[in-house]
Chain A
């Protein structure tokens, strides 16, 4: 029997797609690289996920988990004809523990809707990727997603207590637990950020965070991007950790304002969005500190959101940024590097220089507070040779970030897009250790193969096996 026929036996005809049109529709996520899909399935229970995995194993078809497909690194795109397991229907909020501030949720639950669900309890789920209105908790777990408010709260991994995982063998495991420091190895930490290479997450125990009693959002406009970056450094050096510190340059402001008038000044070279949250007295003082730092750096405008609606509008503008790029070009390639905050200005000028040298159009919006840069290259993939040019510039930008002491990726995951740059960050031995950990979870290499780790990550591939494999060494 064919793969699709076997899958239909378990899920029924409606929950398996294999028409060539559907396979094309599922060939991409929000990144730029298309893959090849053999079939798409929509399981509704953990048992169905396990059954689907067993069928894929029998047919030797790679398995790729997918949530809302808002990922930017190709993590949900199969590289060889693979089975896409859409986890969108596992979208139940099973249980909210008001006292413990935790919730058991399905991976298909939409990030923002979880926070909306717990609003009446005065709680929210803290990691807030820009795509939070669409992206799923499962996808967040896969990429260890961040977001503007992760500056103070930490990224996804700090908010996941336990996961239910379907392994490559079709077994169901429960990793972690409600206790703050579970006994044994931290396997939850292994799964978070593993992009579906360790197993398929079918349930998640998340930590919920209390809503701050007071929030103040500031919008600061600057005549140069350096002045904005300087403000970031002096705010953090001043000893406070704002809830969020976000920077946008002029091309990005123009694109966003084209979508909706969010009140960003169009004549500024850069705007900084700063948010402080906490006890009313502290918030008052911290907001003043941010405003003073901005004024000292030469801010041309400092505005404090007076109403919740004004605050929402500022955040709508910020969170629509990636999607608004069509204003500049039909495709975009997005970076996710991290640089030390102290070298922000230097890194930014280097990145602008690379963009100019390659003659590519660039828009910038990023989490300035933690030095997580998102230079965004707008281009038309239909122009021959363009994608290659964009990739070459991208590689240079990543290398530059690593050179100044930064990292390859902050929060979007490695997936396909950043995979071949892993060697810039890690030595052969580092990569081998990661590959072995992965093999322990998925010895047959069927879970999202070709992702995260570049080809040749196992020392076996280098012929170094004799030095490192304890059995052969013995």
Chain B
């Protein structure tokens, strides 16, 4: 009965909810089901029931928490500023400890050990690259079919770990690049664009080799010990840089919450930025150029962990405009695309419904290029949109446009 770990939802977090219900229409799973049990307010009520001793961490509790995408769309609309994402990570950590299944232990191992291992990710990437060439993603197996959402992978390729470059022009500071786990292997050109733009904007850039996966996926799954270990590794690796830059929205949002997971984490969180914020700032300062317009539309997809968790919306539009494109809005609510990290595999039905909805919003815009600043969203969009659409990170679009002009 009750909570068993230090990460559990805290009483002040639960008391923060005055049950007004203004979060409900912003929650993707409430929109799909109309059910209070699939809403932020309902989930907090369930946590409060456990805290009060009137409910247990049982299978139904796990289901109720498991359906949450952790998109945090409820946070910016909450007048009482409940830190819902934090409380949900706490609830997941409790589930992991109180209902330890073999499946969850396997996941904790995958997210805590395999994903942060560059060798393991390289091997997996190579296998996926072969699978792509053999067109195995056409087989009716969910995990394999998702390879269809990946960019065409190289059979091998360099990691950026350990690389460093010096600022071009006037130096404004030092930047460390979090190369990420899958970002390094699968989205190398995004990290390449980041390094180019950061040096052009006046940063000495390094990708310290001692760094690890940020731990966001482990935290979302309740693998608290792994999350703490990964956070501590990164706190050490990223000391002494002016800014720490992540190229995936999920990573930058997680770095912003490092205070929860490691000593010194708060200090790192203060220096952490999403690449889109740093690049937009440099464009506004005139350290990076604005390129002439060329009448091509780009559909803007907001990763939840940029829009809802970090209130970053205008920055991506700025970057896409500076690249010469016309940003087109597809969704004024910023509803989650359903990728949500490992959710795409753990909750296939909901994930597919939201993915199809998002794809239809893109199709309605008539743009064939889509800008998305998070690898999970990108894969989900490509999977649901098909080959006719070009889904790219906004800084990639911008870096490419800059290359064409230099």
Give the B-binding residues of A (Cβ under 8 A): 17, 19-22, 24-26, 28-30, 40, 42, 68-70, 86, 88-89, 91, 108, 110, 113, 131, 133-135, 255-256, 258-260, 320-327, 330-332, 380
Q: Mark B85-108, 1 if CB is under 8 A from A, else 0.
A: 000000000000000000000000
B374 interfacial by beta-carbon distance below 8 Å = no
- Kindly provide the distance from the CB of B15 to the nearest chain A CB, expressed in whole angstroms: 4
Given contacts A21-B61, A86-B36, 5 further A-B contacts (CB under 8 A): A131-B20, A131-B21, A322-B79, A326-B18, A330-B15
B126 interfacial by beta-carbon distance below 8 Å = no
| Contact between B34 and A24, CB atoms less than 8 A apart | no
| Contact between A20 and B34, CB atoms less than 8 A apart | no
Residues of B within 8 A of A256 (CB): 79
| Contact between B24 and A380, CB atoms less than 8 A apart | no
Residues of A within 8 A of B54 (CB): 24
Instruction: State in angstroms the CA–CA spacing of A29 and B45 once bound together.
Output: 11
| Contact between B19 and A321, CB atoms less than 8 A apart | no
Give the A-binding residues of B (Cβ under 8 A): 15-25, 33-37, 41-42, 45-46, 49, 54-55, 58, 60-61, 64, 77-82
Q: Which of A21, A25, A323 contacts B18 (CB 8 A)?
A: A323
| Contact between B16 and A30, CB atoms less than 8 A apart | no
Complex A-B, nearest 10 residue pairs according to Cβ-Cβ distance, in ascending order: A88-B34, A326-B80, A323-B79, A330-B15, A323-B20, A320-B79, A324-B79, A70-B21, A25-B42, A259-B79
| Contact between B60 and A131, CB atoms less than 8 A apart | no
| Contact between B64 and A326, CB atoms less than 8 A apart | no
| Contact between B17 and A326, CB atoms less than 8 A apart | yes
Nearest to A325 among chain B residues (CB) is B18
Instruction: State in angstroms the CA–CA spacing of A195 and B18 once bound together.
Output: 23
Residues of A within 8 A of B64 (CB): 21-22, 25
- Kindly provide the distance from the CB of B308 to the nearest chain A CB, expressed in whole angstroms: 14
Q: Which of B19, B21, B55, B80 contacts A21 (CB 8 A)?
A: B55
| Contact between A24 and B35, CB atoms less than 8 A apart | no
Residues of B within 8 A of A68 (CB): 21, 24-25
| Contact between A30 and B20, CB atoms less than 8 A apart | yes
Residues of A within 8 A of B60 (CB): 19-22
Nearest to B78 among chain A residues (CB) is A323
- Kindly provide the distance from the CB of A382 to the nearest chain B CB, expressed in whole angstroms: 8
- Kindly provide the distance from the CB of A151 to the nearest chain B CB, expressed in whole angstroms: 22
Nearest to B55 among chain A residues (CB) is A21
| Contact between A30 and B21, CB atoms less than 8 A apart | yes
Residues of A within 8 A of B81 (CB): 258-259, 326
| Contact between A259 and B49, CB atoms less than 8 A apart | no
| Contact between B35 and A86, CB atoms less than 8 A apart | yes
Most A CB within 10 A of own CB, among B18, B24, B42: B18
Residues of B within 8 A of A108 (CB): 34
Nearest to B82 among chain A residues (CB) is A326
Instruction: State in angstroms the CA–CA spacing of A371 and B328 once bound together.
Output: 45
| Contact between A28 and B45, CB atoms less than 8 A apart | yes
- Kindly provide the distance from the CB of A327 to the nearest chain B CB, expressed in whole angstroms: 7
Q: Which of A24, A134, A323 contacts B80 (CB 8 A)?
A: A323
| Contact between A133 and B15, CB atoms less than 8 A apart | no
- Kindly provide the distance from the CB of A372 to the nearest chain B CB, expressed in whole angstroms: 18
Residues of B within 8 A of A29 (CB): 19, 21
Instruction: State in angstroms the CA–CA spacing of A135 and B23 once bound together.
Output: 11
Q: Answer whether A22 and B37 are a contact pair too, CB < 8 Å, given A133-B25, A258-B81, A320-B79.
A: yes
Residues of B within 8 A of A26 (CB): 36-37
| Contact between A134 and B21, CB atoms less than 8 A apart | yes
| Contact between B21 and A330, CB atoms less than 8 A apart | no
Instruction: State in angstroms the CA–CA spacing of A19 and B20 once bound together.
Output: 24
25 cross-chain CB contacts under 8 A: A21-B46, A21-B64, A24-B54, A25-B36, A28-B19, A70-B21, A86-B36, A88-B34, A133-B25, A133-B77, A134-B24, A134-B25, A135-B21, A258-B81, A259-B79, A320-B22, A320-B79, A322-B20, A323-B20, A324-B79, A325-B79, A326-B81, A327-B80, A330-B15, A330-B17
Nearest to B34 among chain A residues (CB) is A88
Q: Answer whether A89 and B55 are a contact pair too, CB < 8 Å, given A25-B42, A30-B21.
A: no
Q: Answer whether A21 and B35 are a contact pair too, CB < 8 Å, given A28-B19, A324-B80, A326-B82.
A: no
Residues of A within 8 A of B78 (CB): 259, 323
Residues of A within 8 A of B36 (CB): 25-26, 40, 69, 86
Most B CB within 10 A of own CB, among A259, A260, A327, A330: A330
- Kindly provide the distance from the CB of A20 to the nearest chain B CB, expressed in whole angstroms: 7
Residues of B within 8 A of A86 (CB): 34-36
| Contact between A380 and B15, CB atoms less than 8 A apart | yes
Residues of B within 8 A of A133 (CB): 22, 25, 77
Instruction: State in angstroms the CA–CA spacing of A26 and B22 once bound together.
Output: 16
- Kindly provide the distance from the CB of A337 to the nearest chain B CB, expressed in whole angstroms: 20
Most A CB within 10 A of own CB, among B23, B36, B45, B49: B36
Most A CB within 10 A of own CB, among B36, B58, B60, B79: B79
- Kindly provide the distance from the CB of B318 to the nearest chain A CB, expressed in whole angstroms: 18
| Contact between B79 and A24, CB atoms less than 8 A apart | no
| Contact between A42 and B24, CB atoms less than 8 A apart | no
Nearest to B52 among chain A residues (CB) is A382
Instruction: State in angstroms the CA–CA spacing of A348 and B45 once bound together.
Output: 34
Residues of B within 8 A of A259 (CB): 78-81
Q: Which of A24, A320, A330, A380 contacts B16 (CB 8 A)?
A: A330
| Contact between A17 and B35, CB atoms less than 8 A apart | yes
Q: Answer whether A330 and B37 are a contact pair too, CB < 8 Å, given A24-B45, A134-B24.
A: no
| Contact between A25 and B46, CB atoms less than 8 A apart | yes
Residues of B within 8 A of A42 (CB): 33-35
Instruction: State in angstroms the CA–CA spacing of A380 and B12 once bound together.
Output: 12
| Contact between A322 and B18, CB atoms less than 8 A apart | yes
- Kindly provide the distance from the CB of B262 to the nearest chain A CB, expressed in whole angstroms: 28
- Kindly provide the distance from the CB of A175 to the nearest chain B CB, expressed in whole angstroms: 25
Most B CB within 10 A of own CB, among A30, A258, A332: A30
Instruction: State in angstroms the CA–CA spacing of A86 and B81 once bound together.
Output: 27
- Kindly provide the distance from the CB of A111 to the nearest chain B CB, expressed in whole angstroms: 10
Instruction: State in angstroms the CA–CA spacing of A26 and B45 once bound together.
Output: 9
Nearest to B19 among chain A residues (CB) is A30
| Contact between A325 and B35, CB atoms less than 8 A apart | no
Nearest to A87 among chain B residues (CB) is B34
- Kindly provide the distance from the CB of A143 to the nearest chain B CB, expressed in whole angstroms: 14
Q: Which of A24, A88, A135 contacts B49 (CB 8 A)?
A: A24
Instruction: State in angstroms the CA–CA spacing of A322 and B22 once bound together.
Output: 10
Instruction: State in angstroms the CA–CA spacing of A320 and B35 once bound together.
Output: 23
Instruction: State in angstroms the CA–CA spacing of A260 and B78 once bound together.
Output: 10
- Kindly provide the distance from the CB of A16 to the nearest chain B CB, expressed in whole angstroms: 11
Q: Answer whether A21 and B49 are a contact pair too, CB < 8 Å, given A26-B36, A131-B22, A326-B82.
A: yes
- Kindly provide the distance from the CB of A75 to the nearest chain B CB, expressed in whole angstroms: 13
Residues of B within 8 A of A88 (CB): 34-35
- Kindly provide the distance from the CB of B137 to the nearest chain A CB, expressed in whole angstroms: 30
Nearest to B30 among chain A residues (CB) is A88
Residues of A within 8 A of B21 (CB): 29-30, 68-70, 131, 134-135
Q: Which of A28, A89, A380 contacts B34 (CB 8 A)?
A: A89
| Contact between B18 and A331, CB atoms less than 8 A apart | yes
Most B CB within 10 A of own CB, among A20, A108, A255, A332: A20
Instruction: State in angstroms the CA–CA spacing of A108 and B25 once bound together.
Output: 11
Instruction: State in angstroms the CA–CA spacing of A30 and B80 once bound together.
Output: 14
Residues of A within 8 A of B16 (CB): 326, 330
- Kindly provide the distance from the CB of A127 to the nearest chain B CB, expressed in whole angstroms: 17
Residues of B within 8 A of A89 (CB): 34
- Kindly provide the distance from the CB of B217 to the nearest chain A CB, expressed in whole angstroms: 26
| Contact between A24 and B46, CB atoms less than 8 A apart | yes
